Amino acid sequence: MSELPTYVLEREFDAPREMVWRTWTEPELLARWYGPGAETIIHELNVTPGGLWLNEMKWGGKSNYERVEYTKVDPPALLVWLHSTANSEWEASANSMMPDWPLVLLTTVTFTEKDGKTQLRLTWQPHEASAAELACFAAAIGGMDKGWASGMEILTELLAELQD
């Protein structure tokens, strides 16, 4: 089998690892940077293996839902989850704007501290995806940095604020 298409995001934050971890695991902090340009409403955040993160992003009078199920949690070093677009009942569902988008993405986020700074590495891979889903994801990788980069800018500002 060929290698799965993988999106990789790497960032360095001038903040201790425990603080960066908090911005990914505390609802009031996560809602401030996740989903830039939208109102982010976290309906549930249980950062434990088997726990759920149920996320709603509102913009333009519409709501988009996401369902995350954590599979591995190793504070403050590792988060692994299965990420899906969801319907309003929090069931994984096809992306209405991109019908061939993978139903589930395996997300891995590592937090490594070096010299008082935190190296963050996020990877996204289609999980148990069809050939059409793999092709759709591979074609979209080039544009994924735009959304993630906006969130990372807000996260950088949030971390600076938390250290003041």
Gyration radius of the chain's alpha carbons: 16
Pick from 60, 21, 56: nearest CA to 155: 21
pLDDT tens per residue, the chain (164 residues)?
Answer: 468 999 999 999 999 999 999 999 999 999 999 999 899 999 999 999 999 999 999 998 999 999 999 999 999 999 999 999 999 999 999 998 899 999 999 999 999 999 999 999 999 999 999 999 999 999 999 999 988 999 999 999 999 999 98
Q: Residue 74, Cα to own-chain centre: how many angstroms?
A: 16
For every residue of the chain, DSSP letters joined together read -PPPP-EEEEEEESS-HHHHHHHHHSHHHHHHHSSTTSEEEEEEE--STT-EEEEEEEETTEEEEEEEEEEEEETTTEEEEEEEEE-TTS-B--BTTBTTS-S-EEEEEEEEEETTEEEEEEEEEESS--HHHHHHHHHHHHHHHHHHHHHHHHHHHHHHHHH-
